[in-house]
A and B are shown apart, each in its own frame.
Chain A
Amino acid sequence: MHLTAFRFGKPYESLERNKLVHFMTGEPVAEVSQVGGAIVSRDLRKADNARNALLKIDPEDIVERLQTAGNLYALGTVEVGGVKQSPDDFARQQSATTGLPESLCHANMKKNLFVLSNMDRMLDALSRGLSPEILWQGYGTEHRDVVVSYQCQSPVLGLVLPSNSPGVHTLWLPVIALGVGLLLKPGGQEPWTPYRMAAAMIEAGIPEEAIGLYPGATDVGAAILADSGRSMIFGSAKTVEQYRGNPAVQVHGPGFSKILLGDDCVDHWQDYIDVMAESIAANSGRGCINCSAIYASRHTDEIADALAERLGTQDVRPPDDPEATLAAFTIPGAAKAIWQQIESLLDKPGVRHATAPHGSRFVEGERCGWLRPTIVECDSPDPEIAHAEYMFPFCSVVKCTQEKMLERIGPTLVATAITNDSGFQQQLIHANHIDRLNFGPLPTIKLDWLQPHEGNIIDFLYRSRALQMAATTELVSTATAAPAQSGR
């Protein structure tokens, strides 16, 4: 199977191809054309064509086509890389190159299907009831009889996608429905979701000129970030820091998501063990929304031991085993290196490895490695490991007074606060270093898609501005005319 680049409607076979192999057997799975950054820069000059192609279609029709695409993606057989691909084929291939168990690949497909199936509700929620026609025309009259105008900030959204978490794709699924094209750089090991989703969208009637697939090395990502009017990148804390404050780039890095137990609920910690375990271990702990730390003022030793008992016994299973829960680290030596780093932090004062009695955490394969769920107890937020996040089920249970919690937790993508203390609740609501806030025993990984994630995608792609009209002036509807500026 050869996955070619796709230059907004035109397949492009590169002379350079990346060979993807099965993470356990080394058997070839696919070849992926590799392009250079200059191809992206060049094609972005014609990015207006992508948006124009979408604006020719009624916005409600686009939403319907996306819903059809969702069904094709999750349930149908579509042609990918010149080969018919069923959902089972897809899960097998995705698992083979990412190390994710097939059951989790299927679970992520359901998540993407849910988002596409509910696109109309999502858009309504995220736009606060704005008619999509207004985004198409650039202006309109709201239901309050007020003229509003929105400027599209970029005809396409550029995305530098990761290899390690197929769950992130939900973030870009609404973009087409907002009349903005997609320029995707698939993750090196996970081209599967972008390619299958693009194939399903095009088969469902989304114009092929609106979608680009540009697999390649880091220079492709650099070109996307430099030349797209708006782009999204998934990366490390260093990447986040690099693009902090750049309004054209939305960065998704480590989440450092947490569960905070208020003093009023902590004595009933047993009631919340299921929520904690699910938050830590769902999707093999790979997501930024997985819980990496639990804060409580007391019972931290008992909580850590209970979680160790619950998760610490999970073992490696073959990727096609329906019971498999742990993803492999497919880069040779990666799992071992991570474990060695963790071990060096476990020796520090105030740190106890709660899963130690449940056997070795590092499992070495012939070509890959695994890390079994690891629970650590910290007697304060001081040890370095209390603030660590890893790409497997890992959590520090940190002893910290409620009074000091908000001061010590650091940046937090998702906080599940289990408390009925109204004072604490108010502090949490007003804390700027918490993004998504859940009150009550909701798993950190449970996202309500009708609410924004790390900023509202509509606010990222559109800018609200003033548009005034004299009583004698009438604007002609030009929904399909060329709108936004290309690039920066």
Chain B
Amino acid sequence: MPADTTETSPVFKVADEKSISQSRDKLDAHTAEIVAWHFHPSTGSPFWLEYAEKLNFDPLKEVNCFDDLKKFPAFEDEWLRGGPVTRWIPKGFAGQPAYVFETGGTTGTPKSRVNLRDFRTDYEEFSETLPEEYFPKGANWLMLGPSGPRRLRLSIEHLAQHRGGICFCIDLDPRWVIKLIQKGWMEHLEAYKDHCIDQAITVLESGHDIRCMFTTPKLLEALAIALEKKGTTIREAGITGIFSGGTEFTPQWTRFAVEELLDGAFMTPTYGNTLMGLAASRPVIPEDGYTIAYYSPQPRAVIEVVDFDDTNSVVPYGGTGRVKLTTLTKETFVPGFLERDEGERERPYAHYPWDGISGVRPFSKLATATTVGVY
């Protein structure tokens, strides 16, 4: 990655060179450790051990830093579809209870990721980024979003438990939502949305002392408007902190939410998926034009904003490129997965001294064929 990060932005604190260098060293060491685990015959997963036989280099000897991961051919997302999912479990974790989380799957075989404890670790780390003032320890949570085969429900529930609270959950099936849109059944779509929101309001009004919430942008606005129709607000319903994600955020939407929907409740946008875990955002403020810049949970996952044609090169700061994701945990190794998103490369932030990404949106060359941001 280029190291031209010396300019100081007028609206957020850019990380200093020393912090950037230290985080880079940590990433390099972590990369070597994770690759050693996944490719060692005694600990590695069946998939990577078999894959290593076809490589023209030895990952155990020739991957010593993050940039060495470029030696791997492009990771194909098709590899994540279908079974047996146990091929992804490292031998070092054999016999431990496993979860499988899926992404996509409206039609055809979904992509899946096996998890043992990663989702808990991801959300415990994310928990450290939540301000106590708005997400008080011990508070109860409402999880209003996609559940079923997705990771979110268990993750949010764990986050609530980790912080000493209990999580109340409302189910939403995004695969059905996408089908409703594709079929043009808009009345059913509205009815399903109302069905979810009605349940959420019932929970909020039932004396559970819920103060924190996870939901998607679309459901958050639907909930806020439904509460407004009842003469109340999100804040008056007891919510002080909202962690939102799951679909695309825009600065305009965030501004609208802050100015008109939240009534003073705090909201933090996040970017995440089954492979990466969760990327927190730097503070979203009017002075920064409500720019939403995400920073991956390095060194466990790395986001790079790469050139559309040369995916081994990052674009200059402020430049637009495709999201390239690398997952580096002992449970999962995914080098250089090209996401279906694009955005602008952001400078390292003081609290996250590595590259970030802003303006995340569906990859323009694929967007027309994809139904996104629907729930």
Q: Which residues of A contact B (CB under 8 A)?
A: 14-16, 34-39, 41-42, 45, 222, 225-226, 238, 241-242, 246
> Is B86 positioned at the interface, with any CB of A under 8 Å from its CB?
no
Interface of chain B residues 277 through 323 with chain A (CB within 8 A): 289-290
How far, in angstroms, from A48 to B256 measured CA to CA in the complex?
A: 23
Report chain B residues within 8 Å CB of A241.
Answer: 184
Chain B: minimal CB distance from A440 (Å): 40
Contact A38 B252 (CB under 8 A): no
Chain B: minimal CB distance from A87 (Å): 33
Contact A15 B184 (CB under 8 A): no
Contact B251 A242 (CB under 8 A): no
How far, in angstroms, from A14 to B190 measured CA to CA in the complex?
A: 26
How far, in angstroms, from A36 to B259 measured CA to CA in the complex?
A: 14
> Is B54 positioned at the interface, with any CB of A under 8 Å from its CB?
no
Q: Which residue of B lies closest to A243 (CB)?
A: B186
> Is B253 positioned at the interface, with any CB of A under 8 Å from its CB?
yes
Report chain B residues within 8 Å CB of A34.
Answer: 252
Chain A: minimal CB distance from B251 (Å): 5
- Interface residue count on the B side (C-beta < 8 Å): 20
Name the contact of A36 in the complex, choosing from B184, B229, B256, B289 (C-beta under 8 A). B256
Interface of chain B residues 202 through 216 with chain A (CB within 8 A): none
Chain A: minimal CB distance from B309 (Å): 21
How far, in angstroms, from A14 to B250 measured CA to CA in the complex?
A: 11
Report chain A residues within 8 Å CB of B186.
Answer: 222, 225-226, 242
Report chain A residues within 8 Å CB of B225.
Answer: 38, 41-42, 45
Contact A16 B251 (CB under 8 A): yes
Supply 18 A–B pairs (Cβ within 8 Å), ascending by A: A14-B252, A15-B250, A15-B252, A15-B255, A15-B289, A34-B252, A35-B252, A36-B252, A38-B221, A38-B222, A38-B225, A38-B256, A41-B225, A42-B228, A42-B260, A225-B186, A241-B184, A242-B184
How far, in angstroms, from A16 to B229 measured CA to CA in the complex?
A: 27
How far, in angstroms, from A78 to B113 measured CA to CA in the complex?
A: 60
Report chain B residues within 8 Å CB of A41.
Answer: 221, 225
Report chain A residues within 8 Å CB of B224.
Answer: 38
Q: What 6 A-B pairs are tightest by C-beta distance, nearest first?
A: A38-B221, A15-B252, A16-B252, A242-B184, A15-B251, A41-B225
Contact B260 A36 (CB under 8 A): no
Interface of chain B residues 230 through 254 with chain A (CB within 8 A): 250-253
Interface of chain B residues 251 through 284 with chain A (CB within 8 A): 251-253, 255-256, 260-261
Given contacts A15-B289, A225-B186, A238-B184, contact A45 B229 (CB under 8 A): yes
Q: Which residue of B lies closest to A12 (CB)?
A: B256
Interface of A is mostly: helix
Interface of B is mostly: helix
Contact A38 B228 (CB under 8 A): no
How far, in angstroms, from A16 to B186 measured CA to CA in the complex?
A: 26
Q: Which residue of A lies closest to B187 (CB)?
A: A246
Interface of chain B residues 174 through 200 with chain A (CB within 8 A): 184, 186-187, 190
Report chain A residues within 8 Å CB of B255.
Answer: 15
Chain B: minimal CB distance from A109 (Å): 33
Q: Which residue of B lies closest to A246 (CB)?
A: B187
Q: Which residue of A lies closest to B184 (CB)?
A: A242
Name the contact of B261 in the complex, choosing from A35, A38, A226, A242 (C-beta under 8 A). A38
How far, in angstroms, from A225 to B255 measured CA to CA in the complex?
A: 24
How far, in angstroms, from A401 to B184 measured CA to CA in the complex?
A: 38
How far, in angstroms, from A39 to B228 measured CA to CA in the complex?
A: 13
Further pairs besides A16-B252, A41-B221: 19, Cβ < 8 Å: A15-B251, A15-B255, A15-B290, A16-B250, A34-B252, A35-B256, A36-B252, A36-B253, A36-B256, A38-B256, A39-B260, A41-B225, A42-B260, A45-B225, A45-B229, A222-B186, A225-B186, A226-B190, A246-B187
How far, in angstroms, from A34 to B261 measured CA to CA in the complex?
A: 18
Report chain A residues within 8 Å CB of B256.
Answer: 35-36, 38-39
Contact A45 B228 (CB under 8 A): yes
Q: Which residue of A lies closest to B226 (CB)?
A: A41
How far, in angstroms, from A222 to B221 measured CA to CA in the complex?
A: 14
Report chain A residues within 8 Å CB of B289.
Answer: 15
Report chain A residues within 8 Å CB of B228.
Answer: 42, 45
How far, in angstroms, from A14 to B290 measured CA to CA in the complex?
A: 12
Q: Which residue of A lies closest to B190 (CB)?
A: A226
How far, in angstroms, from A42 to B228 measured CA to CA in the complex?
A: 8
Report chain B residues within 8 Å CB of A16.
Answer: 250-252
Report chain A residues within 8 Å CB of B222.
Answer: 38
Question: Which of A35, A36, A45, A246 has the most chain B CB within a 10 Å cutoff?
Answer: A36
Report chain B residues within 8 Å CB of A36.
Answer: 221, 252-253, 256
Chain A: minimal CB distance from B293 (Å): 15
Chain A: minimal CB distance from B361 (Å): 11
Report chain B residues within 8 Å CB of A246.
Answer: 187
Q: Which residue of B lies closest to A15 (CB)?
A: B252
How far, in angstroms, from A228 to B251 measured CA to CA in the complex?
A: 27
Chain A: minimal CB distance from B270 (Å): 19
Question: Which of B252, B260, B289 has the most chain A CB within a 10 Å cutoff?
Answer: B252
How far, in angstroms, from A37 to B260 measured CA to CA in the complex?
A: 13
How far, in angstroms, from A311 to B79 measured CA to CA in the complex?
A: 57
Report chain B residues within 8 Å CB of A225.
Answer: 186
Q: Which residue of A lies closest to B260 (CB)?
A: A42
Q: Which residue of B lies closest to A42 (CB)?
A: B225
How far, in angstroms, from A41 to B260 measured CA to CA in the complex?
A: 12
How far, in angstroms, from A41 to B229 measured CA to CA in the complex?
A: 10
Chain B: minimal CB distance from A296 (Å): 37
Report chain A residues within 8 Å CB of B190.
Answer: 226
Report chain A residues within 8 Å CB of B252.
Answer: 14-16, 34-36
How far, in angstroms, from A310 to B173 measured CA to CA in the complex?
A: 57
Report chain A residues within 8 Å CB of B184.
Answer: 238, 241-242
How far, in angstroms, from A225 to B184 measured CA to CA in the complex?
A: 13
Chain A: minimal CB distance from B90 (Å): 43
Chain B: minimal CB distance from A16 (Å): 4
Chain A: minimal CB distance from B368 (Å): 12
Question: Which of A15, A39, A222, A225 has the most chain B CB within a 10 Å cutoff?
Answer: A15
Chain A: minimal CB distance from B148 (Å): 24
How far, in angstroms, from A222 to B224 measured CA to CA in the complex?
A: 17
How far, in angstroms, from A14 to B251 measured CA to CA in the complex?
A: 10
How far, in angstroms, from A374 to B23 measured CA to CA in the complex?
A: 66
How far, in angstroms, from A222 to B193 measured CA to CA in the complex?
A: 13
How far, in angstroms, from A242 to B252 measured CA to CA in the complex?
A: 30
How far, in angstroms, from A38 to B252 measured CA to CA in the complex?
A: 12
Chain B: minimal CB distance from A25 (Å): 23
Chain B: minimal CB distance from A35 (Å): 7
Chain B: minimal CB distance from A13 (Å): 10
Chain B: minimal CB distance from A71 (Å): 37
Chain B: minimal CB distance from A181 (Å): 19
How far, in angstroms, from A222 to B250 measured CA to CA in the complex?
A: 19
How far, in angstroms, from A15 to B253 measured CA to CA in the complex?
A: 9
How far, in angstroms, from A412 to B274 measured CA to CA in the complex?
A: 51
Chain A: minimal CB distance from B53 (Å): 46
How far, in angstroms, from A171 to B344 measured CA to CA in the complex?
A: 43
How far, in angstroms, from A45 to B228 measured CA to CA in the complex?
A: 9
Report chain B residues within 8 Å CB of A39.
Answer: 256, 260
How far, in angstroms, from A162 to B289 measured CA to CA in the complex?
A: 31
Report chain B residues within 8 Å CB of A42.
Answer: 225, 228, 260-261
Report chain B residues within 8 Å CB of A37.
Answer: 221
Give B63-94 as 1s and 0s: 1 = Cβ < 8 Å from A's Cβ atoms.
00000000000000000000000000000000
